[in-house]
Structure 1
Amino acid sequence: MTHDVIVIGGGSAGYAAARTARDAGADVGIVDQGPLGGLCILRGCMPSKAILRSAEIAALMKRAKEFGLEPVPVRADLSAIVDRKNRLVQEFAEDRIKALKDPRFTLYQARARFTSPHEILVGETVLTARSFIVATGSIPCDVPIPGLKEAGYETSDSILDLREQPASLVVLGGGAVATEFGQFFARIGSCVMILQRGDHLLSDFDDEVGQTVETAFRQEGIEVHLDCQVRRVTCQGGEKVVEFEQAGRVRSVAAELILQALGRKANIAGLNLEVAGVAVRDGRMMLNEEMRTSQPHIFAVGDVNDLNPIVHIAIQQGEIAGYNATHPTAVPKRIDNRLDSDVIFTDPQVAAVGWSEKVCRRRGVPYLAASYPFADHGKALCSGQTQGFVKLLCHPRTGQLLGAQVVGPEAGELVHELAAVMYYRGTVQDLLRIPHYHPTLAEIVTYPAEELVARLQAEDHVGSRAQQ
């Protein structure tokens, strides 16, 4: 069997690539061994956000008295939460499966492996194509902690199906998976302890972001241990004991369950990429901004390329690969990371777009930064959601918005206004010109913008006087 383009993997990135190539008139084959649906739908965004909603409601119910309401006892039923999650996931998956089985595609539900740069073996069928797009996603990392495998642990994949609530939980890691699941289990009544290697949670963001989330977690009764190196795991008296070193001291915590949230890796085992001539370094395919690997006709998109495990970015990558695979003589499309964004669905939420202060300093990019707290914002005070802040970064001469970080209520929604302004290369002056309804959470962005505009005007005034 021969196709113009073969996409290996039918998740968000793979389907976007297949749809784009099909719309360009290509004969497209999709290979997915199943279960069909993709990581986002089956084991990622959708199921995790479904269960987090239950914890959000539980947390609000516990605060009833603060809002003048009679409190009622809150008891979580984890099995019922999982049932609701499964119903939603099934609905989402059915839509994706219907799309993959569109007769305009040829779907092969089997495992694929390369037998040459232009051939793959699917079951017992050899398929050839002019271009291949690898979109096989990611899997949890294997972490060489002595005793961890023997003691047993959950990952972000398996914990979604847990029906018996653990009395206690140790979370290894301090990123998105660790913080979201850690807070979820704490809010439904488990005793939660988080062990983070770095000096603050969410280390990819600026320091004050993780510090704000850490403060909120401690207020909810979550134990957060920073700057710790896990040494080993043992089982004692029916519990899993995690031994770690912190500030030169050896300490330990014990719990009924361990969540290993120390990252994911590209799902490339068994693809035979070496036979295809695709360069792999440290478990990652090497590729350029056109999503091409070392073999120009083989592309890699989504989590499998280990660039940025965010769904909308995976879709953009898929669309770029699908276009480039079907337009060999056209000017190739390239990924633009200027508007990369991220959202962590903790409470307070965390969202970011563009460059952070860490990134600006690392790249030597000059900037001005200003922040404003939700604790001094009217709508946030009325809503009882006062943790966090909005921080804006702009160019020190033009005022062009370079990036933003939001920690607080509805951060994942608020960040989109800032992304829209950045898309049009707008400035902090533009943020002030845009009308913002009062009282809303959104109007908080105008306060750091005001500070930055004042600083820009002051510097312009100083510059003008110096020229005179």
Structure 2
Amino acid sequence: MDRTHDVIIIGGGSAGYAAARTAKDAGADVAIVDQGPLGGLCILRGCMPTKAILRTAEIAALIQRAQEFGLAPAAAKADLKTIIDRKDRLVSEFADYRIGQLRDPRFALYEHHASFLSPHELQAGPFRLTGKAFIIATGSVPREVAIPGLRECGYLTSDDLLDLRDQPSSLIVLGAGPVALELGQFFSRIGTSVTVIQRSPHLLSHLDDDIGTVLKQALEDEGVTVFTDTALTGIRKGVEASRSVSFIHRGEPMTVRGEQVLQAMGRRPCVDDLNLEAADVRVVDGRVVVDGAMRTSQRHIFAVGDVTNLYDIVHIAIQQGELAGFNATHLAEVPRQFDDRLVTEVIFTDPQVALVGLSEKTCRVREIPYLVASYPFSDHGKAMCRGDRYGFVKLLAVPENGQLLGAQIVGPEAGELIHELIAVMYYRGTVYDLMRMPHYHPTLAEIVTYPAEALVERIDKR
């Protein structure tokens, strides 16, 4: 069966649906091809399920600190089955809403696997689809890592762990990225003995080193064992179905044992069986290569979200989807470009990590001049009252005029606090603006005025 559409989108997750909605609003005949399960990574295996279970861990951690706040000690026993049941109910609600959007009659939905036949043709089950433009939004899957013995011994991915109903007594986490640390801290807080093994010298190695240092201290103080700067050498099965992970740590061979192993060393773009060769779409190191307009090596084929391996952040995937949806329906015009000036990331560990714009590491690599100042939560009144002692706020500014280049927050409610700094940067504001804006006392938000004041003093002296 042959069918023709203006825009054909492969993948119905957050990025794909954003592209479909935008293209439809531009008047295009839009088709979505998704073999299912429908809903997308964010809803089914990412943002929503992880945040649902992390809320349980936050409550458990507060209960464990009851005596610190003058309350009688209390014990909270975790029931992982019930935790997962709650998560599943929430995910089902979110997924049902998204499925309803995808099955809206204004779209043509093909629930089949997609495979390119040529740059303008796609096979979707029994359907041969021809399109004027295509948008690839197939997301990502857990990356497979070659570690001796890992496959033979068996391991869990983040996808597996979100459905685990039998709580392990001990868990070895391979990797220290956002997913690894969020899930590792969750299991530690509900009573599992957790060991984190990281290859790089710092946790969250893609960020500034001071962020990883603070988070490592916080995790270790909670009882998580953390090894950084390691080299994995092998994994073996131990007694009673346990696993032994061997590695080199600071030149010394070491072995740790655990009931389960979480392989959380990243994800990779999901381009399996798309037959991108037939479409003549350039792929490098497993990712679809795109330009600033989200266009691939074919001017009428776009790619958005995790499949590009640029940012594994859902709101950015949505922005890219909207951009591609517009450009795909305006092929004859100069395309709109993605603006990465306000790229934001939030990591939902405790303390939370949030950042926007440039980091010190990025400024050094790009040779961008900057001034930097930070202030710790341990010396901030509202944080002290709350018992939040980890973290800091750090601001980067242009030396000549104080315009904000970037900001990082490690600490309580960082994911909420970062939005004031996003707003200031959106309007290309300065540290002077942060000083002039009223901040209520006592609040967590007023902490941003302290590094701003330090930067103002330094700029005034130049």
Give the TM-score of the pair, scaled to structure 2: 0.99
In structure 2, how many angstroms separate the alpha carbons of the residues matched to 1:377 and 1:225? 30
In structure 1, how many angstroms separate the alpha carbons of the residues matched to 2:122 and 2:208? 44
SS in 1 for 2:316: helix
SS in 2 for 1:339: coil
> Post-superposition shift, 1:372?
0.3
Task: Please say if 1:358 is aligned against 2:361.
Answer: yes
* 1:345 maps to which of 345, 348, 369: 348
Deviation string 1:413-448 (CA, Å, 9 cap, x unpaired) is: 001100110011100000111111111100000000
In structure 2, how many angstroms separate the alpha carbons of the residues matched to 1:375 and 1:232? 40
SS in 2 for 1:161: coil
* 1:212 maps to which of 205, 211, 214: 214
Tell me what 1:23 maps to: 25
* 2:435 maps to which of 397, 410, 432: 432
* 1:294 maps to which of 278, 287, 297: 297
Tell me what 1:396 maps to: 399
Deviation string 1:224-260 (CA, Å, 9 cap, x unpaired) is: 0011111111001021001111222211101000000
User: Which amino acid is 2:393 matched to?
Assistant: V
Residues 117-266 of structure 1: pairs in structure 2 closer than 5 A: 117-237=119-239, 238-266=241-269
> Post-superposition shift, 1:329?
2.6
Residues 3-22 of structure 1: pairs in structure 2 closer than 5 A: 3-22=5-24
User: Which amino acid is 1:68 matched to?
Assistant: G
User: Which amino acid is 2:389 matched to?
Assistant: T
SS in 2 for 1:338: coil
SS in 2 for 1:391: strand
Tell me what 1:465 maps to: none
Tell me what 1:73 maps to: 75
Give the TM-score of the pair, scaled to structure 1: 0.97
SS in 1 for 2:207: coil
Deviation string 1:329-363 (CA, Å, 9 cap, x unpaired) is: 33311111110010110000000000000000000
**Which stretch shows the higher mean deviation, 68-77 or 57-66?**
68-77
Q: How many residues align?
A: 459
SS in 2 for 1:244: strand
In structure 2, how many angstroms separate the alpha carbons of the residues matched to 1:202 and 1:55? 21
Tell me what 2:413 maps to: 410
In structure 1, how many angstroms separate the alpha carbons of the residues matched to 2:305 and 2:250? 38
In structure 1, how many angstroms separate the alpha carbons of the residues matched to 2:172 and 2:154? 12
> Post-superposition shift, 1:110?
0.6
In structure 2, how many angstroms separate the alpha carbons of the residues matched to 1:456 and 1:125? 64
In structure 2, how many angstroms separate the alpha carbons of the residues matched to 1:349 and 1:235? 35
Runs of 4+ in 1 over 3 A off after TM superposition: none
Tell me what 1:463 maps to: none
> Post-superposition shift, 1:68?
1.1
Residues 303-342 of structure 1: pairs in structure 2 closer than 5 A: 303-342=306-345
Unaligned 5+ segments in structure 2 are none
Alignment RMSD (CA, Å): 0.6
User: Which amino acid is 1:37 matched to?
Assistant: G
In structure 2, how many angstroms separate the alpha carbons of the residues matched to 1:331 and 1:145? 47
In structure 1, how many angstroms separate the alpha carbons of the residues matched to 2:387 and 2:254? 37
SS in 2 for 1:337: coil
* 1:277 maps to which of 280, 301, 306: 280
> Post-superposition shift, 1:72?
1.4
Task: Say whether the 8 Å CA contact 2:300–2:331 is kept in structure 1.
Answer: no
**Which stretch shows the higher mean deviation, 324-333 or 164-173?**
324-333
In structure 2, how many angstroms separate the alpha carbons of the residues matched to 1:328 and 1:197? 44
